[in-house]
Amino acid sequence: MEMLRNCKGLIHRLALFLVIAARIAAADSSGKPVVPALFILGDSTVDCGNNNWLWTVAQSKFLPYGRDFDTHEPTGRFTNGRLSIDYLADFLNLPLVPPYLSRPSYDQGVNFASAGSGILNATGSIFGQRIPMQTQLAYLKDVKSELSEKFGRERTNEIFSKSIFYVSVGSNDFINNYLVPGSSYLRDYNRKSFIDLLISGLDEQLNELYSIGARRIVVASLSPLGSVPSQLAKFSTIRLDGSSFLNDMSQQYNTKLFDLLVRLRSSLSEADLIYNSLYNVLMDISEKYSQYGFLYNDTACCGLGNFNGSVPCLPNVPVCEDAAQYIFWDEYHPTGSTYKLIADKLWSGNINESYPINVKTLLGL
């Protein structure tokens, strides 16, 4: 059995190598950047290290995080290797986007995402410091001002209008805010009114993003929150499908998000808005996991407890030998292998994965 698993792992890694090679070939063969820059806003699903500079327990700047990254060292990414936005940068012929708090050059984009953050300013306070979406937008304004001083206002406006802006936020507003015992939001809002509160807040934030100058905007849906190891572990003591209400909540939010983006495409006349359905993508991967080359679809590579989802991935916690066999790396986050698949669906996926078009089509490639 162990030999079979090792063979499957080897085949899967070979397949991933071929996928990467195909992606590189599919990108602009000139090697020139396809867009001027890539800007990232959101939470730990796209945080490439901003929380390294904050006082927070939501950090991943230690091994085994990063063990399969380009440098084989932890970077602050909440996975074993690369994130989906790192592969998106490859498609765009751009370097990996640096974290804003590292004070890098902003010429080809920057990442404002912060683990634990959400649409609401209060979200993630249980972890300590974080950068809420509203603050991330303020930082984006500062970046635009700096670029305007460097390149001039007209050139900077052109950079913003032609760049890609990727937004992935919302899951912490549920798991690490609304559903936390004693939460004032849980007391004051029912599920529908809380979702409406989040959509209203995101509506304002996307309008602000547009007013800053963003035109090509990709917004990720919620993933199936009830299918991640931490929630499976939390609710499996009740019944195996006890976390299914979280998937129902995710779908209810995603329906409202989809409707919001449809409205914004009408009201923001120059905007190209893409709905990146992480829910559909991850459900498909989970249901057909063996076809995608995985051996485990509900258990984390790193962790302890049921589904390895009860104890976080820490330096002395058991970790699997081959993360490519797992959909999930830790109690919340996908492995680098899964992030590669997510990026592929965003770049060239069908209408159920990227609506109304994928990024490759948006850019005319």
Above 60 in pLDDT, residue 271?
A: yes
Domain definitions of the chain by residue range: 35-362
Which amino acids are annotated catalytic? 44, 330, 333
Mean pLDDT of 210-216: 98
Residue 39 burial class via C-beta count within 10 angstroms: exposed 0-12, middle 13-18, buried 19 and up: buried
pLDDT of residue 244: 85
CA distance 94 to 163: 11
Residue 38, classed as helix, strand or coil, is strand
Q: Which two tokens mark 244?
A: 């299914």
- Does residue 241 have a pLDDT over 80? no
Tokens matching residue 169 = 């936020």
Mean pLDDT for 113-120 is: 98
Q: Using CA of residue 254, residue 255, residue 258, residue 260, what is the dihedral sign?
A: negative
Tokens of 312: 């976080």
- The residue written with tokens 């292998």 in the block is 337
- Is residue 2 scored above 90 in pLDDT? no
Counting residues of the chain whose pLDDT is more than 90, the rounded percentage is 88
Share of the chain above pLDDT 70, in %: 90
**Which residue reads 């820059």 in tokens?**
37
Alpha carbons 15 and 238: distance in angstroms, whole number: 39
**For all residues of the chain together, what is the average pLDDT?**
92
Work out the average pLDDT over 299-314: 96
The CATH number, out of the four listed (3.40.50.1110, 3.90.940.20, 2.60.40.10, 3.10.129.10), of the domain defined by the range 35-362:
3.40.50.1110
Question: Distance (Å, rounded) from C-alpha 97 to C-alpha 44?
Answer: 15
pLDDT at residue number 30: 66
Local confidence band at 17 (pLDDT 50, 70, 90 cut-offs)? very low
Supply 179's token pair.
Answer: 């559903």
Residues contacting 35, CB < 8 A, separation 6+: 92, 94, 162, 163, 164, 216, 363
Per residue in 22-48, pLDDT tens? 444 444 456 899 999 999 999 999 999
Residue 148, pLDDT above cutoff 50: yes
**Interatomic CA distance for residues 318 and 301, integer angstroms:** 8
Residue 15: pLDDT band with limits 50, 70, 90: very low
Tell me what the mean pLDDT of segment 249-259 comes to: 98
Tens digits of residue pLDDT in 312-321: 999 999 999 9
3-state secondary structure of 322: coil
| pLDDT value for 235 | 81
Q: Which residue is listed with tokens 């359905």?
A: 277
Predicted confidence (pLDDT) per residue in 65-103, tens digit:
999 999 999 999 999 999 999 999 999 999 999 999 999
pLDDT at residue 365, as a whole number:
77
3-state helix, strand, coil in the chain (%, to 5): 45, 10, 40
| Residue 236 pLDDT greater than 80, yes or no | no
Count Cβ atoms below 10 Å from residue 192 Cβ, excluding itself: 10
Confidence (pTM): 0.91
Tokens found for residue 132: 């809420």
